Structure 1
Amino acid sequence: MLSQRLAIFRPFSFNKSFSVSKSLVLVVLIFFIFLASLSGILNSSKSNFMYSLQNKWTTTSLQPSGTDISPTNISHIVFAISSSNKLWPRRRNYVEAWWRPNSTSGYIFFDKLPQNPWPNSPIFKVSEDTTKFQVFSSHANPPVIRIVRAILEAYRAEEEPRNVRWYVIGDDDTIFFVDNLVSLLKRYDHTKYFYIGGISECRKSNDDFSFHMAYGGAGFALSRPLASALVTHLDYCIEKYKLLAVSDIILQSCIADIGVSLTPHKEFHQIDLVGDISGYLSSAQSPLVTLHHLDSALPIFPSMSRYESVKHLMKAGNSSHQSRLLQQTICYDKHRNWTYSISWGYSVYIFEQIYPRSVLRKPLETFRPWNPRSRPPHYMFNTRKLEPDGPCKDPHVFFFESQNVTAGGHLVTSYTKSRPYRRRLPSCSTNSADHVSKIQISSTLASHEMDTGAQCCDLLNTHHRNITTAKLRTCMEGEIVA
């Protein structure tokens, strides 16, 4: 008995114990490998199922039917322009300046049926009667309900969405530069949510309204998926924000509630500036997509009316070189100690002194802020003060006159002095530019794409003492313009 009890406490031999342990570990390892494999198969099946479901949802809910991966073009854009019977007679020239009957598509929304005969394009629509809405009587600014709903009515008007990728909103005094707009929108995935536009040039306007809101007068773009999500609940959102009195703020608030923020671009120009805006336009640092509020500024070409000025600008703007329009190029005449600041298709400045590009990027403050009672700083950018008594800082100003194509295949734009801008100042040095009456800018006919960087230029020898000729070119690698 004692020997049996002692046997209970007798330890196993080491070899036998190790053999059992080794077998046990092997079994456990095989079991875990089996579980891991089974889990991977289940997760893979679940993942494939969810991906398939998600992909199906994305395809049916976000992507327009027949979506392809081709680059965005003008046929993919629908414009929604707000106007009124009262304003249209004064504003129609602005729309007609940029609208292309055979390529642009969209609608102009009126408060009442237009009285005069209407052309085939653009298509007009009378906005839905918003006075019947319950929110009308309690809204902070009832007329804006019609403006806010322009996107909804434009979206519904496209019964067959065709290949619409973008809805672009604007006013009847918004000038669109269509080719540049297309170039901008083609950078973005139209199957995603995008809200693209610009803010005001004036700090006070942004402070009063929003730094995160696209200004409708400057124009803004909504991708079709975002437009679809927005219009679904837009009337509810108008009711929700009935204490907001500005259409742009209402739309921005509704879009923010969807979870989408503004994608800002300086190419959209609200022009909350008054007076002479030539200093601002002559220092543009980004391609021109829109202009607005030209009724509130002096004519951009001093010798023309506002409407004539817009049509004149479009002579260069409707060419194949629209992306160059207003873009600033700097070149130097170091023998005379002159600086040329070229705003292609608009103006050329001659300074009787050498200025680096870093200085000339700042616009000459020929303009004033929208709100005369605002406190400085007025603008969302730096400026240079105009010094009419300073001959070295006050430029000789030339404005776009014409363009033509040479036999050698170059595009030449010509700029002449305008009488209101003839200086009555002494020369800055012994080399006065008073005798220069015309400037010619030569460039290749090749299309200049947006965002290809600043261009450089060379002054060419000329046999005409009163005519200066310059040639635009691509800057060499590492070239410094200063």
Structure 2
Amino acid sequence: MSFVEHKSSVTSSLDITNSPTNISHIMFVLVGCNRTWKYRRSYIEAWWRENITRGNIWLDEPPTEDLLPWPSTSPPFQVNEDITKLKVYPKLLNPVVVRIYRSILDTFRLGENKDVRWYVMADDDTLFFVDNLVEVLGKYDHSKYHYIGTNSESIKSNYDFSFEMGFGGAGYALSYALVEELVLKIDGCIERYPHMWVSDYLSSSCSADLGVDLTIEKGIHQIDLRGDISGLLSSHPKSPLLTLHHFDVVEPIFPSKDRSESINHLMKAAKFDQSRVLQQTICYHRQSNWTFSISWGYSAHVYESIFPRSILRRPLETFMPWVTGRPPLFMFNTRWPSSDPCEAPHVFFLENVDQSSEQGDRVVSVYTRKWARDMGACSLNGNHSADPISRVQVSSPAIERKEAGRIECCDVEYESGKEVASVKLRACMKGEMLP
């Protein structure tokens, strides 16, 4: 069957309907290889939903014996077409780039596109928050050309490749209308740009030649950083969390857990409420002059001073740059960690999350202290030490998804000297700022 015949036999996904976008409308195009899959499979299985999510993991060759039998908990595997048969192959600077990008064409040719509205590309070490992805893609019209992704956090990476490129490790989404046009032109575009050595740049260039520029969504994260990224995750933008990438090059995101355990721990919270994962909520305990910063499902910070949201939305620079060089290094503002007890937070990480009927059918997440702050109290604000607190307990609505793009407020209950501080999330009152 020729490509044209195959294309015409596929039911078009561009029939205009009034139905909201749902998970069945998304086709995941995940790209890996035999060498990496055995180490990264757990990342994908943490979010993949058997018999619900659609798509494939594309490999460079048939699975080796140690990868078989192929588990049903993983996406079905496919093997990319042999690109050595392409007439442009001898001119390619990096053939892997072409294999990755042509996974779009390989997926389309499977003929499984009925009702597909979006193709979502990503690497095999990318964590998706699918409910949030469905909500965000639902804002866009899949019958029009859309290319949705994000830049790198690293200025150097964007400079080296392109500030107009969606980084594929973080993941990017192509509307079905755009995919239908691209598959007719992919090989011609590859012949036009044989010198490109990054698949994301090739993808960006091919879309740009069709007049389609990148649309940025802040919840997509390349994580071109190194070391401890807890500062970044504790001050997430108010956009819904969509993806996290590069787990192999950063430290495990939870203390005393390895990378796979950390991912599964975060996904436990996500199963209760994806809309609030990493969403920063800030509130105050005036009696003690304390500020609480909650990154739901991940961490809680307690400051022995009153800080406005405009300050705490800047991540603590706990991480290192992707590559060394002269500042500025990052695409966002940061705060330096401080040894001043009035500025340094007491840090707590998620211990558990569950639903509580005792609190009016709310979700209760508990954050525990993993190490002592080892500083005195902030003398400027009355020496109200938060050292006695060992646990921060946060309750949130069980049946209400947080509205995308909106912040929430909260109230703190704490008796001096007690081990537990209780925080209740709620809708902000009109004009609510500092108390």
Normalised by the length of structure 1, the TM-score is 0.84
Q: How far off is 1:208 after superposition?
A: 0.9
Q: What's the counterpart of residue 29 of structure 2?
A: 80
Report SS of the residue matched to 2:78.
strand
Structure 2 gap ranges (5+): 1-8
Q: What's the counterpart of residue 375 of structure 1?
A: 326
Q: How far off is 1:306 after superposition?
A: 0.7
Count, aligned residues: 417
User: Is 1:71 equivalent to 2:24 in the alignment?
Assistant: no
Q: How far off is 1:136 after superposition?
A: 1.9
Change (3 A) 1:254 1:65: closer
Report SS of the residue matched to 1:87.
helix
Distance in 2 separating the partners of 1:462 and 1:74:
45
User: Is 1:304 equivalent to 2:257 in the alignment?
Assistant: yes
Q: Deviations over 1:93-114 (max 9, x none)?
A: 0000010113101010001111
Q: How far off is 1:251 after superposition?
A: 0.7
Distance in 2 separating the partners of 1:450 and 1:222:
24
What letter is aligned with 1:294? F
Q: Deviations over 1:202-242 (max 9, x none)?
A: 11111111111100000000000100101111011111100
Q: Summarize the alignment of residues 320-399 of structure 1 with structure 2, pairs less than 5 Å apart.
A: 321-372=273-324, 374-387=325-338, 389-399=339-349
Conserved 8 A contact 1:287-1:450: no
Distance in 2 separating the partners of 1:364 and 1:65:
44
Once the two structures are aligned, what percentage of the paired residues are identical?
Answer: 52
Report SS of the residue matched to 1:106.
strand
Q: Deviations over 1:441-481 (max 9, x none)?
A: 01111222442511000012569810000100000111114
Conserved 8 A contact 1:213-1:262: yes
Change (3 A) 1:296 1:450: farther
User: Is 1:147 equivalent to 2:97 in the alignment?
Assistant: no
Q: Summarize the alignment of residues 10-409 of structure 1 with structure 2, pairs less than 5 Å apart.
A: 64=13, 66-115=15-64, 116-120=68-72, 121-157=74-110, 159-285=111-237, 286-319=239-272, 321-372=273-324, 374-387=325-338, 389-407=339-357, 408-409=360-361
**Higher RCO structure, 1 or 2 (CA under 8 Å, sep 6+):** 2
Q: What's the counterpart of residue 400 of structure 2?
A: 447
Conserved 8 A contact 1:65-1:162: no
What letter is aligned with 2:377? S
Change (3 A) 1:63 1:476: farther
Q: How far off is 1:65 after superposition?
A: 5.8
Structure 1 gap ranges (5+): 1-59
Distance in 1 separating the partners of 2:403 and 2:50:
25
Distance in 1 separating the partners of 2:106 and 2:415:
58
Change (3 A) 1:219 1:460: same
- Bigger share in helix: 1
What letter is aligned with 2:337? L
Conserved 8 A contact 1:180-1:450: no
Q: What's the counterpart of residue 365 of structure 2?
A: 413
Report SS of the residue matched to 1:232.
coil
What letter is aligned with 1:89? K
Distance in 2 separating the partners of 1:148 and 1:161:
18
Q: Deviations over 1:93-145 (max 9, x none)?
A: 00000101131010100011112210235111011111222222211111211
Q: What's the counterpart of residue 378 of structure 2?
A: 428
Distance in 2 separating the partners of 1:290 and 1:452:
16
Change (3 A) 1:61 1:259: farther
Q: What's the counterpart of residue 6 of structure 2?
A: none
Conserved 8 A contact 1:436-1:465: yes
Q: What's the counterpart of residue 428 of structure 2?
A: 475
Distance in 2 separating the partners of 1:452 and 1:293:
25
Judge which range, 195-204 or 455-464, deviates more.
455-464
What letter is aligned with 2:354? N
Report SS of the residue matched to 2:50.
coil
Distance in 2 separating the partners of 1:130 and 1:123:
21
Q: How far off is 1:434 after superposition?
A: 0.9
Judge which range, 66-75 or 338-347, deviates more.
66-75
Distance in 1 separating the partners of 2:416 and 2:342:
26
Distance in 2 separating the partners of 1:148 and 1:163:
22
Distance in 1 separating the partners of 2:13 and 2:377:
63
Q: What's the counterpart of residue 7 of structure 1?
A: none
RMSD: 1.7
Distance in 2 separating the partners of 1:299 and 1:76:
32
Distance in 2 separating the partners of 1:453 and 1:481:
17
What letter is aligned with 1:453? R
Change (3 A) 1:96 1:273: same
Judge which range, 323-332 or 442-451, deviates more.
442-451
What letter is aligned with 1:169? M
Conserved 8 A contact 1:62-1:192: no
Conserved 8 A contact 2:14-2:143: no
Report SS of the residue matched to 2:218.
coil
Report SS of the residue matched to 2:396.
strand
What letter is aligned with 1:99? W
Change (3 A) 1:350 1:279: same
Distance in 1 separating the partners of 2:112 and 2:305:
60
Q: How far off is 1:66 after superposition?
A: 4.8
Report SS of the residue matched to 1:143.
helix
Normalised by the length of structure 2, the TM-score is 0.93
Change (3 A) 1:401 1:281: same
Report SS of the residue matched to 2:248.
helix
Conserved 8 A contact 1:202-1:380: yes
Judge which range, 134-143 or 84-93, deviates more.
134-143
Conserved 8 A contact 2:189-2:206: yes
Distance in 2 separating the partners of 1:193 and 1:385:
41
